[in-house]
């Protein structure tokens, strides 16, 4: 096919197109990297009776998805409380349960406690700090 524009112009347009395609890929990855950065500030867990602080820093080695799990094939960075709304401890997937349950229906998922239990192993001090109630690192 014979183009209307002279050859040199086509050549430049082609290059510009390629550059802008590369640029948009780079920009897209960059903005995703920002979107996937964990908050540096200490957050307060939403639906607890007494205040409970959550810090991403000691969890930096983990994959985000270990806590911000997939829901219907999509990852969600919303607050856990956006979906785990039930304040009644005994309700299915209540806020209390997804934090404290010692087992999960889906063995690939972990609550705060199932993971902390594994991390602490037989170390008594760590068990108290990471899986205890009072005077633990979670509750005063």
Considering only residues 4, 8, 34, 37, which one is a binding residue for ligand HEC as defined by CB under 6 A?
37
Closer residue to ligand HEC in complex, CB, 4/133: 133
CA angle 96, 42, 65 (to 5 degrees): 60
Q: What are phi and psi of 71, to 5 degrees?
A: -125, 120
Interaction of residue 71 with ligand HEC, rule CB under 6 A? yes
Instruction: Give, in order, the Cα–Cα distances in Å from 129 to each of 55, 60, 138.
Output: 15, 18, 8
Annotated binding-site residue? 29: no
Contact 102, 113 (CB under 8 A): yes
- Contact positions toward ligand HEC, by CB under 6 A? 36-39, 43, 45-46, 54-56, 58-59, 62, 64, 66-69, 71, 76-84, 93, 98-99, 101, 104-106, 109-112, 115-116, 119, 130, 137-138
């Amino acid at each position: 096919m014979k183009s209307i524009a002279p050859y040199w112009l086509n050549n430049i347009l082609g290059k510009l197109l390629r550059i802008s395609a590369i640029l948009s890929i780079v920009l897209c990855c960059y903005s995703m990297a920002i979107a996937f950065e964990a908050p540096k500030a200490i957050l307060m867990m939403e639906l607890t009776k007494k205040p409970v602080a959550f810090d991403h820093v000691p969890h930096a080695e983990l994959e985000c998805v270990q806590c911000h799990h997939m829901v219907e094939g999509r990852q969600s960075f919303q607050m856990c409380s956006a979906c785990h709304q039930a304040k009644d401890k005994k309700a299915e997937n209540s806020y209390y349960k997804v934090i404290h349950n010692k087992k999960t229906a889906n063995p690939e998922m972990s609550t705060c406690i199932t993971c902390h239990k594994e991390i602490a192993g037989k170390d008594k001090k760590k068990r108290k700090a990471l899986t205890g109630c009072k005077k633990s690192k979670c509750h005063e």
